[in-house]
């Protein structure tokens, strides 16, 4: 889904608070998060971007770059950033915010919320989140209604899971946190499983099938 739509903008410049740039070039060889906002000067969005800025060190530690989009102009974004900084007692907003006053990008990416309208009766941009891997492919997407703020601790959690499972033959169970036990992939069989995961334990279940295989998080 993201791959089909991002082709529209991957090769063209978008205008942001940090000048014109190309989304893929901005992400470079690392991971990226692209998240959208209904409009500038809206209360939930202001709390979100303030929180994102506070968590920049955690995202940077994971080699993740962030870019936002809101359906206003760059000049509007500049004024809004002052409010974001004031709300969070911040010195800066260090990630770019894309302008989209015509909502062209929001339409292209399918981000409009048909149930939430602005003062003019136009659909608001939904709170979309795209997490993109170094291969520029979509790894996760979450769509929130315009009235519900995002949980950025959860985004850190899923990034930890995505980065771990991209390189290790494990999956992460419900409510997993970094450092917790993982599950051995069903595709890893027999000797390979015991060699890769010498501390693997198999949980007995009534079916007798030995598929509930846990292991400490691989290094």
Burial class of residue 12, CB neighbours in 10 A (0-12, 13-18, 19+): exposed
Among candidate residues 45, 71, 81, 182, the one labeled active-site is 45
Query: What's the Rg (C-alpha) of the chain?
Result: 20
Q: What three-state secondary structure class fits 169?
A: coil
Residue 30 contacts residue 63 (beta carbons within 8 Å) = yes
Per DSSP, the three-state class of 40 is: coil
**Considering 20, 29, 135, 160, which one is annotated as catalytic?**
135
Indicate if 71 belongs to the active site: no
**135 in catalytic set:** yes
Which residue numbers are catalytic? 45, 135
């Amino acid at each position: 889904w993201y791959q089909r739509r991002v082709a529209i903008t991957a090769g063209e410049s978008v205008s942001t608070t940090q000048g014109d740039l190309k989304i893929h070039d901005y992400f470079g060889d690392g991971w990226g998060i692209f998240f959208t906002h209904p409009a500038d000067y809206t209360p939930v969005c202001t709390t979100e971007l303030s929180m994102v800025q506070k968590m920049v060190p955690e995202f940077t530690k994971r080699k993740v770059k962030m870019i936002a989009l809101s359906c206003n102009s760059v000049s509007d974004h500049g004024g809004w950033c002052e409010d974001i900084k004031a709300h969070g007692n911040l010195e800066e907003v260090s990630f770019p915010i894309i302008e989209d006053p015509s909502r062209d990008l929001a339409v292209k990416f399918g981000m409009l919320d048909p149930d939430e309208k602005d003062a003019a009766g136009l659909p608001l941009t939904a709170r979309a989140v795209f997490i993109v891997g170094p291969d520029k492919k979509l790894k996760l997407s979450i769509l929130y209604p315009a009235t519900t703020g995002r949980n950025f601790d959860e985004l850190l959690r899923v990034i930890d899971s995505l980065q771990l499972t991209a390189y290790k033959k494990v999956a992460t169970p419900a409510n997993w946190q970094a450092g917790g036990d993982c599950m051995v992939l069903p595709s890893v069989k027999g000797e390979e499983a015991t060699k890769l995961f010498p501390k693997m334990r198999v949980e007995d279940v009534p079916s007798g099938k030995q598929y509930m295989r846990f292991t400490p998080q691989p290094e």
